[in-house]
Amino acid sequence: MTTTLQPAIGPEAPSKKRSLKRFERYSPIAATVVLLIVMLAFGGIRYDNFLSGQALLDLFNKNSYLFVLAIGMTFVILTGGIDLSVGAVMAMGTVIAAQLLSKGWSPALVIPVVLVISTVLGLLVGLMIDKFKIQPFIATLAAMFLARGLSLMITDRQIAITDTFFQKMNLTHINLWETTTNTRRGVRVSDVYTTWSVVIALLILVIAFVVLHYTRFGRTVYAIGGGESSANLMGLAVARTKISVYAISGLCSGLAGILYSFYTASGDPIVGVGYELNAIAAVVIGGTLLAGGAGYVLGSVLGVITLSVIYAYKDFDGGLNTGWTRVMIGALVLLFIVLQRVLVARRK
């Protein structure tokens, strides 16, 4: 036996090095934070009012539904799966809500119905994946077509929502503070505001964080991503957890649909095409490994903000179009995948 592994037993490193090593796992999320700061600084230098309070809050206001989608997606990707159905399920949520409201249903009934339907759909997808060993990619692709098809069967055009509660959620501003801006016409005083949708999204974030880090269910999600057969041999509830993450993703998609219909005061069967890819991109940019087992829901939220900044560039700069934003997102996703590879390779 000539091979010597590192000292196996006994003090293997001075404690100072140890404590540093503990933070190494946060390096992908640190990269996201640095990137975000750089992007915000760039926007602030280049565009007027880019860093004004309202512009920053709009990063949240305009994309509250994407936050919720990305949070649900994080659960799935942490187990090593993927959910391609979230955009379509979100659209289905808006359509079911608009249709039921137009039939005179109460919002107090409509919202739970939408959430239950989307959760059940996610549950069925999870059951397919677990019981019949179908690839998550295929199962959720099927669910995507199903949800989109159902939405189009209900209506093939946009339905306006006139319900007072939805209107209220659409229009109500939560005023945070007053601000003065200098415009050419003189000094203007306005309120900096956010919306109830953002509050709901942040609430979901807190719940998701607690579930992932302070419950056995959450730790099992991570364990499955680390090694499904190991988790099974450790006696963890692998099947139940795997099914649950798809149900959670379904629930989040339904909620995103509700938030979207607050935002647009309508139900639209063709909305959200490609949003699943935005959600996946946000999760990846947020530092979560696509292979599962490593990442943070907070990172996914930072990922969504990063995407929002890119959209804000477009809004502030008339010379940029949607093509440009997609190239930018693509480049960032690529950058982060390469970064993950390098980090994983270095650790080995």
| Single residue of 233, 327, 334, 342 touching another protein by CB under 8 A | 233
Q: Does 231 bind another protein (CB under 8 A)?
A: yes
Pattern 188-227, another protein, x by CB under 8 A: ----------------------x--xxxx--xx-xx-xxx
Going 225 to 229 to 233 to 236, the CA torsion angle's sign is: positive
Quick one: which segment of 62-70, 165-173, 233-241, 297-305 binds another protein (CB under 8 A)? 233-241
What's the token pair of residue 219? 């730790």
What's the token pair of residue 20? 């540093």
Which CB sits closer to another protein, 6 or 180? 6
Which CB sits closer to another protein, 235 or 318? 235
Q: Write down the H helix ranges in 155-237.
A: 164-171, 196-214, 216-226, 228-233
Q: Does 5 bind another protein (CB under 8 A)?
A: yes
Element holding 267 (H helix, E strand): strand 266-267
Decide: residue 182, CB within 10 A, 0-12 exposed, 13-18 middle, 19+ buried.
exposed
Pattern 12-41, another protein, x by CB under 8 A: x-----x--xx--x----------------
Query: Least distance (Å) from another protein to the CB of residue 116?
Result: 25
Rounded Cα distance between 338 and 249, Å, is 26
Q: Does 8 bind another protein (CB under 8 A)?
A: yes
Q: Does 294 bind another protein (CB under 8 A)?
A: yes
Query: Least distance (Å) from another protein to the CB of residue 127?
Result: 18
| Single residue of 34, 171, 234, 334 touching another protein by CB under 8 A | 234
Residue with tokens 């339905």: 159
Quick one: which segment of 11-19, 26-34, 298-306, 325-333 binds another protein (CB under 8 A)? 11-19
Q: Does 293 bind another protein (CB under 8 A)?
A: yes
Q: Does 290 bind another protein (CB under 8 A)?
A: no
Straight-line distance from the first to the last Cα atom of the chain, in angstroms, rounded to the nearest whole number: 23
Q: Does 44 bind another protein (CB under 8 A)?
A: no
| Single residue of 232, 265, 325, 335 touching another protein by CB under 8 A | 232
Which CB sits closer to another protein, 153 or 344? 344
284 Cβ contact list (under 8 Å, min separation 6): 290, 303, 333, 336, 337
What's the token pair of residue 284? 């990846």
Rounded Cα distance between 134 and 145, Å, is 16
Which CB sits closer to another protein, 18 or 131? 18
Residue with tokens 């959209």: 311
Rounded Cα distance between 139 and 189, Å, is 52
Q: Does 326 bind another protein (CB under 8 A)?
A: no
Decide: residue 76, CB within 10 A, 0-12 exposed, 13-18 middle, 19+ buried.
buried
Could you list the beta-strand ranges (E) of 87-244: 159-160, 174-183, 186-194
Q: Does 345 bind another protein (CB under 8 A)?
A: no
Residues lying near another protein in the complex (CB under 8 A): 1, 3-6, 8-12, 18, 21-22, 25, 210, 213-216, 219-220, 222-223, 225-227, 229-237, 293-294, 347
